[in-house]
Amino acid sequence: MRLPALSRKRQRGSAIVEFAIAGVAACTMMISTVQLGIAMWNYHTLAYATHETNRYIAAHGRSCTTGGNGCAITVGDIATKFKSYASGIPASKINMTLTTANASYTCNPLSSYTTDTTQWPPSAHSDNWTGQPSTLTATTTINSALVAIWYGWSGQRISSVTLKSTSKVQIVF
């Protein structure tokens, strides 16, 4: 059965109105899902790199500097190792802090410290002895595209999120 001409004229443009109502919400949900996935991937990568790099540090303690062993590492070695584990996150956006019982060293940003020759863990105060704690803290900031869909927001209030990961292990070698 065909609709009368008057009824069809009343329905013109209804698809545009329905899309304006439902489409905006659907687009917001899709963008939000993608952004949440990117944030979760960045956090997982940062946490993995933090833990694995700190395990690398724990395996290069006092025994690497005594008895003719040549496996001592530097801050540059640690920064390079961290960079290799944190694939996909630019080293210029990563800040890393190395901490032992008596010393702390900050790499801000990580990309500036890949050639640093400072020995780590330091031998002062026996910080590199077996059983001493080694803590590595890393942060990165990610920018969100969600700001673009909030009407009236300038984009400077909620445009970035800082992710932080900390790993603490004991030196084992």
Write a three-state SS string for 8-60: HHHHCCHHHHHHHHHHHHHHHHHHHHHHHHHHHHHHHHHHHHHHHHHHHHHCC
6 pLDDT above the threshold of 60: no
Q: What is the mean pLDDT of residues 46-74?
A: 91
Percentage of the chain with pLDDT > 70? 86
The H or E element containing residue 135 is strand 133-143
Residue-wise pLDDT tens digits, 22-47: 988 898 888 888 888 999 999 999 99
Give yes or no for a contact between 73 and 119, defined as CB atoms under 8 angstroms apart: yes
131 pLDDT above the threshold of 90: yes
Contacts of 89 (CB under 8 A, 6+ apart): 42, 45, 46, 49, 140
144 pLDDT above the threshold of 80: no
Count Cβ atoms within 10 A of the Cβ of residue 136 and give its class: 0-12 exposed, 13-18 middle, 19 or more buried.
Answer: buried
Query: What is the reported pTM?
Result: 0.83
At residue 3 the predicted structure's pLDDT band, cuts being 50, 70 and 90, is low
CB atoms under 10 Å from CB of 167, counted, come to 20
What pLDDT does residue 147 have?
58
Strand partners, 135: 99, 168
At residue 7 the predicted structure's pLDDT band, cuts being 50, 70 and 90, is low
